[in-house]
Structure 1
Amino acid sequence: MHIRTAVPLALAASTALAGSLLVSAPASAVTHRSGVHLGKIQYDSPGKDNRSNASLNAEWVEIHNNTTSKVQLKGYQLKDNNGYTFTFGSYNVSAGKTVKVHTGKAKVTSGHVYWNRGSYVWNNTGDKARLIKPTGKLVDSCSWTKSSNGTKNCH
């Protein structure tokens, strides 16, 4: 009588363990995306939203090149839910490197480009960033709802 009870319990336990392993596997696969993709997004710049250039530049989106060669981003677009669109000029992102697209104004430097806007793009209460190829094909997207720190990790 005890043997009949033990076998179904052992089978149920091993099935539950296998099920939990299967559930966790796809999550790890998502963190290792290949190609050009969205990384971390600072959608709510730290401090008070006073529209200063420093505050605007503290709002940014990372675009990561997870390939083994540089990628030319000319013509790529970054869009939000309200139709605000940033279009890359000629800009190479090296293999394994990241470029931040800041909302405000400044001179383009290695790893940093600027939207040159005087107002915020990303909604603190929820929005969706989209990275689109010059052909119009969606490369990646990342959405969020309000959180305590104003960042979203899209890796």
Structure 2
Amino acid sequence: MRAVMRVGIGAVAAGLTAVVLTASPGAAATPAVHFAGIQYNAPGTDTSRNVNGEYVKISNSGSRAVSVKGWSVRDAAGHKFTFPTYTIKAHDSLWLHSGKGTHTHRTFYWGSGWHIWNNTGDTATLRDSHGKYHDSCRWTKSTSSGWKAC
């Protein structure tokens, strides 16, 4: 949906700003691909054996399938995962694990030998193949479950 801002002349003259948002006719809504949650603290003590206990869940709450080929997930330190060819169906999700594994239907692996997400605080950022920001998820301290709903 495209927003259009209109400011009334009288409001400007009076030093006030009025904003009216309207939808442009025929403008298509952007699909709602977003972080649903992050398991940033794998169960147990962090070792190279439980890296895949960390994962990101990305959902498409839109009514259309969306190709995420070339989309990326980054942490605050700049670690980056780029999705291969994949399409998230409408009202479906995918999972991105921090460790190593073979990509399967709806499950992807970052390929790291160590944990990506900081338990004490971090920010995950989702961008499309053109670098356009789509979503982020941030936490500032560890919870007992190590899960952050986004």
- With normalisation by structure 2, the TM-score equals 0.77
Letter in 2 for 1:132: R
More helix by share: 1
Q: How does 1:90-129 map to 2 (within 5 A)?
A: 90-129=85-124
1:39 counterpart = 2:36: yes
Letter in 2 for 1:49: D
In structure 1, list runs of 5 or more residues that go unmatched. 1-33
Deviation at 1:96, TM superposition (A): 0.5
Distance 2:80 2:101 in 1: 18
2:22 matched to which residue of 1?
A: none
Deviation at 1:70, TM superposition (A): 1.3
Deviation at 1:78, TM superposition (A): 0.1
Aligned to 1:120, the other structure's residue is in SS state: coil
Distance 1:117 1:82 in 2: 14
Distance 2:89 2:123 in 1: 25
Deviations 1:9-65 (A, max 9, x none): xxxxxxxxxxxxxxxxxxxxxxxxx6100011000001111111xx11110001101
Aligned to 1:128, the other structure's residue is in SS state: strand
1:153 counterpart = 2:146: no
How many residue pairs were aligned? 119
Identity %: 42
Distance 2:130 2:102 in 1: 27
